[in-house]
Amino acid sequence: MTMNNDESLKGYLIIIIGVFTWSFSEIIVKLLQGSVGAISLSFFRYFIGGLFLLFILVIKRDLSGIIKMVKENWPLLLISSCFALGIGNAIYFVGVTNTKANIAATIYTTYPMWITFYSIFILNEKSNLKLKFIGIGIGLIGIAILLTNFNIAEIFSPQNLFGNFLVLLGSIIWSFYSVLGKKIQIKEFSTSNIALKFCMVSSFLASITIFIILIFTPELKTFMNYSFESWLWISFLGIVPSGLGTFLLFEGIKRIEVSKGMSLAFCKPIFATILAFFILNELPTIALLISISLVIASIILINKNPRIEESI
């Protein structure tokens, strides 16, 4: 029992570090705005992330089992990597360009809710459902308050409606990624470093999908034509938030339920707000304090273990 508790605690710690690395994403996109296109940046984040994970596997001298994983799970790999990770991310970026960034972030952060739904049917994670959904609702309110600064009605503004729909669609599609990824890891549990191998393969598959989309966009004209400083930020985005962050996610959810682990994603906008203060000098508001309180309550509820009645 103690060993299980230790593994769960380790899983939560790994995921919270992963979520913190993701929080750099919006900051870097903001820094690169106007110099690197959104679809191009999406391609590089997964391609460089895949190279980073491949490098780690080479250092570990462990490339065994990759071909077997692909052969035995290619339908799930295509859905999770090309569709959920690649196309889902592209739809999200297009949506962001047709709405306000803070509103897009609010809507996209609904993915713990979709992940919980998928986990029920795909992974049979049915423990404590009532508190999970209450917790998700509280968490969404907290994130909405933080990112819209109480102007939640703006989400339904007609000029933002098309973009908001695409962002929501992107969130719903992307949510398949972590659930199907865990399903593959469960099937391939005997393969060493399975989290690294899955993330590496899925990153490359997603980058191929996004590059095909990129070919048909105006961004192709300026592709690869960036300043040295931009390349530094692009590399950081690929290595830290994308490569390392995705790997930490799957390392964490090996040890706990996906729906519980992904509840920590509610911390991402809070981390991003704090990072924006230090990097972009964006001052936090009173909404941050209220949001933190609601998010903490949300995470506690989602991760609360159900009471087990002792049989007499």
Is residue 82 in some structural domain? Answer: yes
Is residue 201 in some structural domain? Answer: yes
Is residue 192 in some structural domain? Answer: yes
pLDDT band at 156 (very low <50, low <70, confident <90, very high): low
- Domain tally, the chain: 1
Is residue 31 in some structural domain? Answer: yes
User: How large is the average pLDDT for residues 49-56?
Assistant: 93
User: How large is the average pLDDT for residues 28-51?
Assistant: 87
User: How large is the average pLDDT for residues 109-135?
Assistant: 80
Is residue 311 in some structural domain? Answer: no
User: How large is the average pLDDT for residues 266-277?
Assistant: 71
Query: Does residue 102 have a pLDDT over 50?
Result: yes
Of 26-40, 171-185, 259-273, the least confident: 259-273
How do residues 231-252 score in pLDDT, each as one tens digit?
Answer: 999 999 999 988 888 888 888 8
Q: What is the pLDDT of residue 235?
A: 95
HEC string of the chain equals CHHHHHHHHHHHHHHHHHHHHHCHHHHHHHHCCCCCCHHHHHHHHHHHHHHHHHHHHHHHCCCCCHHHHHHHHHHHHHHHHHHHHHHHHHHHHHHHCCCCHHHHHHHHCCHHHHHHHHHHHHCCCCCCHHHHHHHHHHHHHHHHHHHHCCCHHHHHCHHHHHHHHHHHHHHHHHHHHHHHHHHHHHHCCCCCCHHHHHHHHHHHHHHHHHHHHHHCCHHHHHCCCCCHHHHHHHHHHHHHHHHHHHHHHHHHHCCCCHHHHHHHHHHHHHHHHHHHHHHCCCCCCHHHHHHHHHHHHHHHHHHCCCCCCCCC
Whole-model pTM: value is 0.77
Query: Does residue 38 have a pLDDT over 70?
Result: yes
Is residue 1 in some structural domain? Answer: no
Q: What is the pLDDT of residue 295?
A: 74
Query: Does residue 86 have a pLDDT over 70?
Result: yes
Give 280 or 226, the one with higher predicted confidence. 226
Of 72-86, 171-185, 280-294, the least confident: 280-294
User: Which residue segment(s) compose the domain that 117 sits in?
Assistant: 13-303
Is residue 4 in some structural domain? Answer: no
> If you average pLDDT over each of 89-98, 184-193, 199-208, 245-254, which comes out highest?
199-208
Q: What is the pLDDT of residue 310?
A: 39
Is residue 204 in some structural domain? Answer: yes
The per-residue pLDDT of the chain, averaged, comes to 81
